[in-house]
Amino acid sequence: MKKRVLLSAALFAAFSAAAQNYDDWFLDKTLRLDYVIAGNDKNADIYLQSLASTPGWGGRRANLSEPYLEGNGQITVRDAETGQVIYVQTYSTLFQEWQTEEEATKVNKAFEATNLVPFPKKPVEITVTLTDNHRKESARLTHTVDPSDILIRPKGENPTPHRYIMKNGSSADCVDIALVAEGYTEADSAKFLLDAQRAVDAIFTHEPFQSLKDRFNVIAVQAVSEEKSPTMPRKGQWHDTAVGTHYDTFYSDRYLMSEEVHHLYDLLAGIPFDQVIVLVNADTYGGGGIFNQLTISTTDHPTFKNVLVHEFGHGYAGLADEYFYDDGFVPFYPLDTEPWEPNITTMVDFDSKWKDLVPAGTPVPTPPDPNIPSLREIYKNHDKKGMELLNACTQKVGVFEGGGYTSKGVFRPVQECRMKINEVENFCPVCTRAIIRATDFYTGR
Ligand SMILES: [Zn+2]
């Protein structure tokens, strides 16, 4: 426990350097770092595979040397001469999710990862770290990059065809969301643009995204697939698609992901973005969201709009799932460690979470409201009043037991939230605050 706190303190001390002026250190250009992360349930190693440069920089230009959240992965860029931290980005990886799977106890596997950092003017030292679910460092790679290195390959001079479907400002002032077409053939290009518009409607009809809308740009990236719809291994259907997504990730039916991360970044080269959402042309439920990496959703499933905004909660704001089934191979959130995600707590450090939003006298754990019928009853009885009660409870903050895939010892802020069930309209006040904070952070406010 103590070790964890010390490590976190060290991590954040490194990040708390003085504010950086973008132009002092960086060109209007991106340095792309392709890595391979390999290992098993206990060990992880990070290898540098290649370096590339792409035109423009779509990321943030403020708050450069501090992270929004801790994440499970951190990339830190230091001026090689002075050691000063000049850029930090945090994220999570599919590899680390896999480490909690039983398969990881039996075999070593490798996963692709890509990080984008602003292109440095002078040589830099780059450190990539991974932290485990106890928030302890589990892997580290440090290497230098000289911006004059002849092996930094220029990419993105002829980017994938793309168009803005919502533009509210420059890339520097707004969060840029790239919507990437997956499983759309040449003949499906008009459908993709319609689906991209539906995705925008889905995200920005929900608060707080609706109120923050003018701080986002959305770009539709018209990648073309040879074949329709993604690969579905459990049915023996293997398709040649632009992003290489497939169902059955980690043998879970609805876990739709892509492991072709380097190729995805090739498709995005030269397009300014902060966030990537892959829109998958399929009607079978599936998707996923990995913080600051990737959000994926299928566009023809009836719940598309509801699922997308939930997955984007993971990908954009680092929100945890507030539901719990107790079906994990190992606990995703050990009870002796406060998770870094803003909307769940183990009570190890509740002060750092939503304690300030809990009304005085609220019991812990907060008992669920017995007057709210179950979803099944609401649908069976067409119970409008019950639905109203359900939606109202999303705003009543307490400390409810169950969350983060665990029924005991992990707590969530409200009885029902968008990060728990898709049927309610709103995010809870804690998730809402996190989305606003993320947006302020990435747009430098
Ligand atoms: Zn919530």
Ligand 1 centroid – CA 400 distance (Å): 11
Distance CA 223, CA 162 (A): 8
Ligand 1 centroid – CA 14 distance (Å): 30
Ligand 1 centroid – CA 431 distance (Å): 4
Lowest mean pLDDT among 243-247, 313-317, 399-403, 441-445: 441-445
Ligand 1 centroid – CA 302 distance (Å): 23
Whether 134 has a pLDDT exceeding 90, the answer reads yes
Work out the angle between the directed axes of helices 429-442 and 304-317 (0-180°, nearest 10): 60
pLDDT at 445: 82
Work out the average pLDDT over 65-73: 94
Whether 2 has a pLDDT exceeding 90, the answer reads no
Distances (CA, A) of 192 to 41, 206, 216, 218: 39, 22, 20, 14
Count, residues in the chain: 445
Ligand 1 centroid – CA 208 distance (Å): 12
pLDDT at 17: 45
pLDDT at 325: 81
Ligand 1 centroid – CA 228 distance (Å): 35
| Whether domain 162-317 has CATH 3.30.930.10 | no
End-to-end CA, the chain = 34
pLDDT at 332: 85
Whether 282 has a pLDDT exceeding 50, the answer reads yes
3-state secondary structure 104-126: HHCCCEEEEEEEEEEEECCCEEE
Ligand 1 centroid – CA 143 distance (Å): 38
Ligand 1 centroid – CA 410 distance (Å): 13
Q: Where are the domains of the chain?
A: 2-155, 162-317, 322-330+356-418
Higher per-residue confidence, 340 vs 422:
340
- Which tokens belong to 130? 């991974």
pLDDT per residue as tens digits for the range 151-205 = 999 999 999 999 999 999 999 899 999 999 999 999 999 999 999 999 999 999 9
Give residue 9's pLDDT band: very low, low, confident or very high (50, 70, 90).
very low
pLDDT at 19: 63
Whether 7 has a pLDDT exceeding 90, the answer reads no
Whether 5 has a pLDDT exceeding 50, the answer reads no
pLDDT at 18: 53
Work out the average pLDDT over 67-78: 96
pLDDT at 330: 74
Ligand 1 centroid – CA 413 distance (Å): 6
Ligand 1 centroid – CA 418 distance (Å): 6
Ligand 1 centroid – CA 402 distance (Å): 12
Ligand 1 centroid – CA 50 distance (Å): 39
8 Å CB contact between 147 and 243: no
Ligand 1 centroid – CA 430 distance (Å): 6
Ligand 1 centroid – CA 89 distance (Å): 24
Ligand 1 centroid – CA 419 distance (Å): 5
Q: Which residue has the tokens 């006040």?
A: 429
User: Mean of the per-residue pLDDT values for the chain?
Assistant: 93
pLDDT at 417: 97
Distance CA 376, CA 368 (A): 17
- Which tokens belong to 204? 């920005």
Closest CA to 43 of 116, 101, 108: 108
Ligand 1 centroid – CA 318 distance (Å): 11
Ligand 1 centroid – CA 129 distance (Å): 28
8 Å CB contact between 309 and 201: no
Work out the average pLDDT over 295-305: 93
Rounded to two decimals, the pTM is: 0.92
Whether 10 has a pLDDT exceeding 70, the answer reads no
Ligand 1 centroid – CA 303 distance (Å): 19
Spatial neighbors of 214 by CB under 8 A, at least 6 apart, are 168, 169
pLDDT per residue as tens digits for the range 336-388 = 999 999 999 999 999 999 999 999 999 999 999 999 988 888 999 999 999 99
Ligand 1 centroid – CA 4 distance (Å): 26
Phi, psi of 321 (to 5 degrees): -70, 135
Ligand 1 centroid – CA 27 distance (Å): 38
Architecture of the domain whose range is 2-155: Sandwich (2.60)
Work out the average pLDDT over 244-258: 93
pLDDT at 322: 96
Whether 127 has a pLDDT exceeding 90, the answer reads yes
Q: In this prediction, what percent of the chain has a pLDDT beyond 90?
A: 87
Judged by DSSP in three states, 236 sits in coil
pLDDT at 11: 52
Closest CA to 245 of 180, 177, 162: 180
Ligand 1 centroid – CA 255 distance (Å): 21
Ligand 1 centroid – CA 119 distance (Å): 36
Ligand 1 centroid – CA 320 distance (Å): 8
Ligand 1 centroid – CA 63 distance (Å): 25
Ligand 1 centroid – CA 65 distance (Å): 28
Ligand 1 centroid – CA 397 distance (Å): 9
Query: What letter would DSSP give residue 293?
Result: T
Work out the average pLDDT over 244-273: 94
pLDDT at 20: 75
Positive or negative torsion for Cα 324, 281, 212, 178: positive
Ligand 1 centroid – CA 259 distance (Å): 28
Ligand 1 centroid – CA 433 distance (Å): 9
Ligand 1 centroid – CA 319 distance (Å): 8
pLDDT at 373: 87
Ligand 1 centroid – CA 342 distance (Å): 9
Ligand 1 centroid – CA 425 distance (Å): 12
Residue 231, beta-bridge partner list: 246
Lowest mean pLDDT among 113-117, 162-166, 211-215, 282-286: 282-286
- Which tokens belong to 342? 């803003």
Give residue 106's pLDDT band: very low, low, confident or very high (50, 70, 90).
very high
Ligand 1 centroid – CA 349 distance (Å): 18
Spatial neighbors of 243 by CB under 8 A, at least 6 apart, are 180, 182, 223, 258, 260, 263, 264, 267, 278
Ligand 1 centroid – CA 428 distance (Å): 4
Work out the average pLDDT over 406-417: 96
Whether 3 has a pLDDT exceeding 90, the answer reads no
